[in-house]
Amino acid sequence: MTPEGKYIYCIILSMHDRNFGPIGVGGRRDEVLTIGYEDLTMVVSNHPLAKIKSSPENLLAHERVIEEVMKEFASVLPIRFGTIAANADEIRNLLGRRYREFKNLLRDMEHFVELGVKGTWRHMDVIFKELEKENEQIRKEKKKISSHPGEHDLEAREKIGKMVMDALQVKKAAEADAVVETLRRCAYEFKVNNTSGDEQFLNASFLVGRGREKEFDNVMNELGEKYKNRIHFAYAGPFPVFNFVNITIYPEEWEK
């Protein structure tokens, strides 16, 4: 039987033991509790001392625990998914060794939140027409097909398809840059993440000072109004600072 370990979600500042309820990863309804060293505390739950599966359910459970903690604690340091200690003593020893590092990070992040912005084109037929208008080579290749139907038709269409997809990536980057350039003025830092599908051109996270959230909201409203017929914006947060702090604890650290 696999021995039980302590699955770690995040670090907070607290002198008191806490119980966040039976919301632990793994689907066993394990209680999410705290283990502390002085005023530093790790939020943990029991979990078999084995590699945890990176399933959507487990990843979501990991994030939900941190979001639950964030409801009560302004500053939260997320720990990388899948981090498991053997026991409470290992956790306390690690907190002691990296005490100053974690304290400084908590102090720095206390003044920030993470906000997420996704941008999706509303009408792809319009976008593809723009690509053709903007790209002379695509127009030439299409004209060849219409002038000589059936002649190397499949090969020509595949070539055009690749050209369109390449041009689409360039257009995505350009429109994402324009939106990010507007939003970065009221953010301390930003990170552009991978997009999904042809329609989505922007998936970005912004580290915003707590005193500037309203300013960021106003800019988002302005962008929404400016592009209301072209772009759908999905704006969410505040979130734990997943994209800007994600502490990694390596297996050899537990052995010290």
Model pLDDT for residues 104-155, shown as the tens digit of each residue: 888 888 888 899 999 999 999 899 888 878 777 766 767 666 666 555 566 6
Task: Put residue 27 in one of left, alpha, beta given phi > 0 → left and psi -120 to 50 → alpha.
Answer: left
In sequence order, the β-bridge partners of residue 156 are none
Span 182-198, average pLDDT = 92
Whether the model pTM is above 0.85? no
Residue 92 pLDDT > 70, yes or no? yes
Lowest mean pLDDT among 78-82, 135-139, 187-191, 194-198: 135-139
Report d(CA 10, CA 80) in Å as an integer. 8
The average pLDDT across 67-82 equals: 88
Task: Compute the 3-state secondary structure of the chain and give helix, strand, coil in percent, each to the nearest 5.
Answer: 45, 25, 30
Rounded distance between C-alpha atoms, residue 172 and residue 180, angstroms: 12
> Tell me, what's the pLDDT at 145?
65
| DSSP-assigned beta bridge partners for residue 48 | 4
Q: Cα(144)–Cα(151) distance, rounded to whole angstroms?
A: 9
DSSP 110: T
pLDDT beyond 80 at 1:
no
Q: How far apart are CA 253 and CA 171, in angstroms?
A: 45
* Secondary structure element (H or E) that encloses residue 34, with its range: strand 32-37
Q: How far apart are CA 125 and CA 107, in angstroms?
A: 48
| CA–CA dist 80, 84 (Å, integer) | 10
